[in-house]
Structure 1
């Protein structure tokens, strides 16, 4: 089971910063996950939200700001927003990389950088956008479909009650979307990671990675269910 650092080791360091990725590597991850956006001047930067005010001391949308402007912001503990190239440099010869495509307009540029940096074999591009995944696949990059439940906190009880009815439909929908996007892996949200779901996807020759798993109990349960990878904010929980 792959140990995947979610935004690095964001349970300990500011997510999607070089500091966070280095911490994840220190905690012996197999892979780190990051989120990619395209700047106004066509550079790929790594942060979780398109609205920079959510994770930095700045304001505005990534698409409306240049790399130089973004570099002036504090992404936490004095860290700067990194570029994809910088993240690859940190990961090289240390761990693999999962790049999540948040907006379709960044997919082509992300793929170009991965190829240029000769990091194709070490990278998975993940998205819920079929077109982004198909484009990456053409360049020889591994791809994964992201799928999550639409459950809100308010709807969790109803979801639990109706799980028996919902999951058979969801299984077929995930399988169809995976086939349409021509992927070999599915990144599944934790509420959907049931024994039946994992068994069904494995039976259909799809690897299953689950996010975001931040309890030791869930990590142990998923290991017993033979999932292929787990995204976590706390990579050291695997050793405990």
Structure 2
């Protein structure tokens, strides 16, 4: 773990400090700042009336108890819902206004699926430019088409490709070549030395998510982490920072 300290990867609060507060809410983002996170990871959808809103699920039952499809709602309807502890759904504009300059890194994950765009890339890009957030924002997605569109519209904005074990390596390599992401984002449980070697050769940083305890990272992988790890995404930013300091 000492190699991690040499690298000093960014500590990003996953959906805010979601281990302590309702995920993707202003309360979770405020707590992330209080707990010393370098930045946050958050998820966005586009409403039917063109607002970029922050929430994770395509269907809102888990978060609100209401069987509603996120992308089929307007902002007024979404604002009537309780997302936990009385928290209301935030817009990306509201988040940027409140926290945009308080974090070094903001990972905006686009959750929309499908081959056709619904305009979310243009809407997110406008907010990034309006709030002058080009330096802090990374755009990430499991859907490489979002990254390709951002590459064409605003190549200066950094991109991260979210990968998952069920996706074939040949498919991933195909999309990596076209999206040209600066980071490769993967779940910790799937981390292998071969990934770090491959991404390092491609001059791409590795970002990990679901890193929450001292047993998360295999000791044999730490030499490779110092070469290519860029960020660690965690539900408990204070715990992770304390762990890194304790291993110094």
TM class, shorter-chain normalised? 0.7 to 0.9
TM-score (norm 1): 0.85
The 5 A counterparts of 1:197-216 are: 197-216=195-214
- Which range moves more in the overlay, 111-120 or 12-21? 111-120
Aligned to 2:232: 230
Higher relative contact order (CA 8 A, sep 6+): 2
Question: Does residue 1:109 correspond to 2:123, yes or no?
Answer: yes
- Which range moves more in the overlay, 173-182 or 91-100? 173-182
> 1:41, 1:66 within 8 Å by CA — same for their partners in 2?
yes
How far apart, in 2, do the equivalents of 1:130 and 1:173 lie? 11
Runs of 4+ with >4 A deviation = 219-224
Aligned to 1:194: 192
TM-score (norm 2): 0.83
| Root mean square deviation of aligned Cα | 2.0
How far apart, in 1, do the equivalents of 2:175 and 2:48 lie? 31
Q: CA deviation at 1:130?
A: 2.4
Aligned residues: 222
Is the partner of 1:113 in helix, strand or coil? helix
Alpha-carbon distance change, 215 to 73 in structure 1, aligned in 2, over 3 angstroms: same
Q: CA deviation at 1:99?
A: 0.6
Is the partner of 2:215 in helix, strand or coil? helix
Structure 1 unmatched runs, 5+: 152-168
How far apart, in 2, do the equivalents of 1:223 and 1:79 lie? 39
How far apart, in 2, do the equivalents of 1:133 and 1:92 lie? 21
How far apart, in 2, do the equivalents of 1:177 and 1:63 lie? 25
